[in-house]
A = this chain, B = another copy of it.
Amino acid sequence: MTTRTPATPPRRTDARRNRERLVEAATRVFTAQGVDAPLDTIAREAGVGNATMYRNFPTREAILEAVLRDLHDELGRRAQDLLRGEPPGEAFIRWLAEFLDYTQSLLGLPEPLASATRDESSALYASCEGMRVAATRLLVRAQEAGDLRRDVLADDLFAHVLGIAWVTQYAGDKRAQASRLLAVLADGIREAPQSRRHRVGS
């Protein structure tokens, strides 16, 4: 994965410590209340003024990215590891399932992830870039092996999984429903032996 650093890293020791505390507090608060938790709660939890938080992280997305960065890198490495998984089609579907799991780990996470997809200049977009590239490679391998349909786009599949994560997030059996929907997606992209291709009428 590429190394990323914030635009303006604080130079003073107390400032750096404040930044760390904010990220730790944000991790706790987002985990407990979801990613839409009031930002003031994070500042209070970190023991700093709300304006300090705002200067370090000008947007909710910025602090969320700091919280998620490591997880994204981990998912990227996971995609790389799965490049040795067999069969290639199932290795990619396996990664999709783990990505889905991740998007359900924080309440409300699908929304900022989907937004980031559309804004290449956003911090979250950069944070996801590594895993996006690695997972795309995993897909291409599966397509070249003849396991998965060649006409599906990687970005469509990431979006599709985000849609599944979003719609199932408040369901009572969210894990179960999400995996049922993912199974439909998976069956929809596997290459059929006798290639029967369908289109939905406009």
Contact = CB atoms under 8 A, between A and B. Distances in A.
B202 A179 contact: yes
Contacts of A180: 152-153, 156
B170 A156 contact: no
A15 interface: no
B177 A167 contact: no
A174 to B, nearest CB: 11
Contacts of A96: 200
List the number of copies, as a whole number. 2
Interface in A157-191: 159-160, 162-168, 170-172, 177, 179-190
A181 B159 contact: yes
Given A179-B200, A184-B189, A160 B167 contact: yes
B181 A160 contact: yes
A39 interface: no
A93 to B, nearest CB: 6
Contacts of A194: 193
Contacts of A185: 184-185, 188
Interface in A71-121: 90, 93-94, 96-97, 110, 114-115, 118
A181 B186 CA distance: 12
Contact of A166 (B93, B166, B170, B200): B166
A154 to B, nearest CB: 12
A115 B181 contact: no
A12 B114 CA distance: 47
B153 A162 contact: no
Interface of A: 90, 93-94, 96-97, 110, 114-115, 118, 152-153, 156, 159-160, 162-168, 170-172, 177, 179-190, 192-194, 198-202
